[in-house]
Amino acid sequence: MDTPGVDSRVPGAAAGAELRWMGGRLLDATGGFVGSLSPRMPGEQDFSPALHRLTPPENSTSAQPEIDYEGLPQGAATGTHMLAGSVAGIMEHCVMYPIDCVKTRMQSLHPEPGARYRNVMDALRQIVRTEGVWRPIRGVNVLAVGAGPAHALYFACYEKIKFSLGNAIHPGANSHFSNGVAGCMATVLHDGIMNPAEVVKQRMQMFNSPYRGVVHCAASLLRRDGPAAFYRSYGTQLTMNVPFQALHFMTYESLQELLNPRRRYDPASHVAAGALAGALAAAATTPLDVCKTLLNTQEAHAVHAVAAAGAASSGRRISGLAEACRTVYGMGGAPAFFKGFQARIIYQAPSTAISWSVYEFFKYLLTQRQHG
């Protein structure tokens, strides 16, 4: 047996490469470690040394199994989706809240002289200059409180139904039908929680809002109109959000197949797909959003006009989608259904991009920890 440290050279017959045996180890021509030689053990019949090929180092990237964050660990999926969805919802609504304030004002059917704006940037400048720097985010706290649980249920329900229904209809492949159904069912739960917060939020966003704060607004509505005030627009909200979310989710999943076919964690594809899906869905549902804003705010001029015409069905209140549509058309014709169109697109595209990118990031992060 050669002593350790002796440099014995072995020609590589097949490849023409040179192997060296040094200290019981095989090295290639560049000094790379390619194997080891073990001496004969007692009782062995074969006296020739055995060559053992080394396994890849533990820190090699090729040896690391790729974690599929879409396939969450069993038993942890619901909690992961709910936590990721909650954070995504709060981030989405809070970051874009100033634009949401502008959208609400620009959808007013008869804005006061001090609340007539040329575009989104003009509106923000005027609001900050005349009403203070904090005015565009007035009411954001009630939205944050509602968005957390609403989006937790929203994403958890979506993922559960998407995978369950998708596996039943088209196992192993993306199903646009299951994506749409999942989005619709998730919306019903989401809007049930968010509708009261939306009513208070939009009352706080209006020009010359008479409320001192969120609690004062909620208490005033409850005292004057009862609990029904918080769900007066729920039917309209669902009528708008069910097609919105169906279109939104189907577009997002289709774009993910195009931009991210292996369905890995890819921030760029999540942002791009989310923004395009949100913009398309927002554009298609703007008329219903105008009606929803009217039902939530009960704009004084519109209510008086309806009451004067003798068309108010519930004590000088606009109630229901049909009456809202008649009021919008009567006060501004067909163009009135697209008031705030630009602000809605500018608000919704970044909002859905933020929501999806934050959601996918937290889902990926939590899944990595589960696998780790």
Instruction: Give the model confidence (pLDDT) of 189-212 as tens digits.
Output: 999 999 999 999 999 999 989 999
Residues 105, 98: contact at Cβ < 8 Å? no
Please tell me the distance from the alpha carbon of residue 105 to that of residue 346, in angstroms, as a whole number. 14
Closest CA to 109 of 343, 320, 293, 362: 293
Residues in the chain: 372
Residues 252, 207: contact at Cβ < 8 Å? no
CA distances, 23 to each of 26, 30, 54 (Å): 8, 16, 16
**Mode of pairing for the β-strands spanning 8-11 and 33-38:** unpaired
The edge-to-edge listing of strands for the beta sheet with 18-22 is 8-11, 18-22, 25-27, 33-38, 50-53
- What is the mean predicted confidence (pLDDT) over 64-89? 62
Structural domains present in the chain: 78-370 (1.50.40.10)
Closest CA to 12 of 48, 55, 51, 56: 51
At 88, the pLDDT band (50, 70, 90 cuts) reads confident
State the pLDDT at residue 18. Answer: 53
State the pLDDT at residue 62. Answer: 43
Q: What is the largest CA-CA distance in the chain?
A: 110
DSSP state of 8: E
* Nearby residues of 48 by Cβ (< 8 Å), 6 or more positions away: 40
pLDDT in tens, 252-292: 989 999 999 888 889 999 999 999 999 999 999 999 999 99
Is the Cα dihedral 289, 293, 295, 301 positive or negative? negative
CA distances, 123 to each of 126, 205, 214, 298 (Å): 5, 13, 23, 21
- The single residue listed with the structure tokens 């630009």 is 342
DSSP state of 26: E
Please tell me the distance from the alpha carbon of residue 277 to that of residue 72, in angstroms, as a whole number. 24
Please tell me the distance from the alpha carbon of residue 141 to that of residue 77, in angstroms, as a whole number. 29
pTM of the model: 0.73
State the pLDDT at residue 242. Answer: 85
Residues 29, 23: contact at Cβ < 8 Å? no
At 369, the pLDDT band (50, 70, 90 cuts) reads confident
pLDDT in tens, 322-368: 999 999 999 999 999 999 999 999 999 999 999 889 888 887 887 78
The pair of structure tokens assigned to 206 is 């209006």
Please tell me the distance from the alpha carbon of residue 160 to that of residue 167, in angstroms, as a whole number. 11
35: part of which helix (H) or strand (E)? strand 33-38
Residues 136, 128: contact at Cβ < 8 Å? yes
The pair of structure tokens assigned to 126 is 């005027």
Please tell me the distance from the alpha carbon of residue 277 to that of residue 245, in angstroms, as a whole number. 9
Mean pLDDT across the chain: 80
